[in-house]
A and B are shown apart, each in its own frame.
Chain A
């Protein structure tokens, strides 16, 4: 397992040398800057003196954060720990002139600013894009907000629930006769953070090529609508509204989540040519009935198909069902619990988790690089050998025999495995942990002045 500060090799982070001033809090902005930080950028997270990012107090806690005298202790929760790996924390009172001066100095030295305050907040502080671009014309400033920096709902308040709803994703999630349902994870905010990361990278490349900076407006609800391909396009093309279908696929049957002996599995009944395999796996000859042979036939007879599958499913374990499907070339899944994920053989074999130590409470396993990068100069491993022999040699889409893309013998030559080369992991910072380092080293403030700023509550 990869551990603290290690990136499995001597390669620099892809974004080494890029300085990011991170004025984000809660979820969307911090995920954006987490991606930058773990790719090697120097991300300086600016936090309010005393309390810091409010999400420090969300979720189960690990690390005590001392508060000003008389206010006891607060605890850094799981959300903060995960979303702020590899960042530095500087406390700064942006309401004070001294705090603003420090921020301006930092912005002058940086390539990127990311913020997710309510629209207009930065302008009111005198730190809007129009102010900051004067200090740094090639600056890329990215603002993430609920509904964007413009439009009639600009100032609407929201939680993930509201954003998932207004973005169109909620209306199509859940049972048709029950209320529309949001995801358990805050996927609208996290996805907007990803989108901001993509746009910021593009703008950074542009700025480095042209010295032209810019302001990027990322709206969480715009992001949600951007991934609403099914419902939105169906309505756009035919005027027919997409509906909730519970756990059955839209216009499909046997395409979703079913209970099994020890949890839940994902049954994927396609493509049609593979449906006979399902009958074979489940040892139910009745499933081979020609009435069920086509996608539409299964849809019309959905209840009957379910009733035939269920006894076998309830008699088998999720991982066994998953593998039985996969070995037959079917894209089965299973509903993984957190325990399953931490023990999943595939993730372990690929050395996915990164162990970071937060001191007192010990070490935790963090999900590692979402994408593996291996530069062409790193050592090449022999062709991968890990796969079990599969019944088919099919493409991602599932079928095989006639595919021009699936003939011939494996040639090898991919680098494998140890591929977190360009990612850098450090535990999330304590509140203000790097204040002195940043003011002293990066900005050259003498120790006496740092002490004065601390006394004044600026940091």
Chain B
């Protein structure tokens, strides 16, 4: 699917088409929350400051060759060309506004008064220091839903502390359980804390909007990114209380299934993931790996036996996979009823026939980047499928549209704001972690 930048073709049949979100959130957790809402048709107004724009846009003057830019080329306006930013703000409007001046604050007040939701993930208390708390914002919009998502929530001894998704993997216990056997904990390739919190916040926010529709009541939603992350390892928190034993790091192995690992295949850094979940699947796999002799070997006939001899099994299977292509193995094993999948990298994903058939990824044209592939909408809804309607906004791209069409400001007044540096499209600074 290809969409045109800024086509603005509002889809009338979208669950959230009547909701407006003033989105002050940055980096990933907050933007992922509002991305999910945008995917269902909410009007997301992403507000940034020219001096502290969303740091996911990258530095003002990045080095050349950073692969997040098209062909490694940052271009004249690198903040508009960063792929890591540009995949999280599809379907959103982008404006800039400085809250340091009285004029800017008056404009902000107007934006709040016409918004259903305000969401931010600043460090705890940052917005409050500017005079904006839930209570003050409610005066502008009595049924407002205000989502505040600092790292550790808005109370408690750590409330001022900061953490990124990588830190939440550690502080939630996820990293403790992840790693090669006998070795230390391992971070994930992404930072799971962010999308976990973004999804939790989006779901609860929708429930809160529905509740508001029935009761007229707004709501204060206090998100601790850490609590959100701990919620995903609850079973292990209970297990520890039952046994007194910390969960071990198992690499790719499982206490319930064996063999269960990733195995090297033909090619450079190519791997297949194979998971045997019962005795029948083992016999099918063993037949392929070592013929009837292995399939009939009593040492491996049961899960207990396979767990006991797992090193030997992994060696046997690795020997078998080493000269075969990962995709060929998966088709072969799935035909025999054995769970297997390629360990997919970027090129695999974009070329994969399954994802192509499902339209998992979308092609979107961005005015400064051209047409590129992005992750699409993470669900298929039969009646309200939605679509990616436009690319992530360049910095301040929709200033004229939002301040003019939405707030009804005269073109001259908007120009005045630009001249005073209260809005604009060129950053005056950046802060990059």
Give Cα A449 to B126, complex, Å. Answer: 62
The answer to whether B350 touches A198, judged by C-beta atoms less than 8 angstroms apart, is: no
Check B199–A194 contact: CB distance below 8 A: yes
Chain A residue at minimal CB-CB distance from B242: A60
The answer to whether B264 has its CB under 8 Å from any CB of chain A is yes
Q: Which positions 276-313 of chain A face chain B at CB distance < 8 Å?
A: 296
- B187-221 vs A, Cβ < 8 Å mask (1 yes, 0 no): 11110100110011111101111110101011111
Question: In the assembled complex, which residues on chain B have CB atoms less than 8 Å from the CB atom of A166?
Answer: 273, 341-344
CB-CB under 8 A for A397 and B180, given A166-B342, A367-B237:
no
A126 at the interface (CB under 8 A from B): no
- B271 contacts partner chain A, Cβ-Cβ < 8 Å: yes
User: Could you say which of B68-76, B296-304, B404-412 contacts chain A?
Assistant: B68-76
Provide the bound-state CA to CA distance between A173 and B213, in Å: 43
In this complex, the member of A15, A199, A255, A388 whose beta carbon has the largest number of chain B beta carbons within 10 angstroms is A199
Check: A169 CB closer than 8 A to any chain B CB. yes
B87 at the A/B interface (Cβ < 8 Å)?
A: yes
User: Which residues of chain A have C-beta atoms less than 8 A from B51's C-beta?
Assistant: 402-404
Give bound CA distance, A195 to B363, whole Å. Answer: 22
- Interface flags, B376-403, vs A, CB<8A=1, else 0: 1011111110000000000000000000
Q: Does A215 contact B (CB under 8 A)?
A: yes
A290-348 residues with Cβ-Cβ distance < 8 A to B are: 296, 326, 329, 331-342, 345-347
How many angstroms between the C-alpha atoms of A408 and B129 in the bound complex?
A: 5
Assess the B71–A239 pair: CB atoms within 8 A: yes
Chain A nearest CB from B136 CB (Å) reads 6
How many chain B residues touch A (Cβ–Cβ < 8 Å)? 186
The answer to the question of B427 belonging to the interface, with a C-beta cut-off of 8 Å to chain A, is no
Closest chain B residue, CB of each to CB of A295:
B432
Residues 354-388 (chain B) with a chain A CB within 8 angstroms: 354-355, 357-358, 360-361, 369, 372-376, 378-384
Whole-angstrom distance between the alpha carbons of A157 and B135 in the complex?
51
Let me know if A433 is at the binding interface, CB within 8 A. Answer: no
Known: A242-B189, A242-B345. A397 touches B433 (CB 8 A): yes
CB < 8 Å neighbour of B357 from A152, A182, A187, A346: A152
CB-based contact B247/A374 at 8 Å:
no
Identify the stretch in A91-99, A102-110, A112-120, A224-232 within 8 Å (CB) of chain B at 4 or more residues.
A224-232
Output the nearest chain B residue to A223 by Cβ-Cβ distance: B378
Contact assessment for A387 and B217 in the assembled complex, using a CB-CB cutoff below 8 Å: no
Contact of B237 among A14, A151, A219, A338 (CB under 8 A): A338
Residues 371-386 of chain A, each 1 if its beta carbon lies under 8 Å from chain B, else 0: 1111111001001101
B70: shortest Cβ distance to chain A, in Å? 5
Partner of B166, one of A148, A236, A249, A393: A249
Q: Are A411 and B133 in contact (CB under 8 A)?
A: yes
What are 22 A-B pairs at a CB distance below 8 A?
Answer: A157-B339, A174-B186, A190-B232, A202-B384, A216-B382, A226-B378, A232-B87, A242-B346, A326-B158, A336-B172, A336-B176, A338-B176, A342-B240, A346-B224, A365-B237, A371-B228, A386-B156, A387-B124, A398-B162, A413-B135, A414-B128, A415-B220
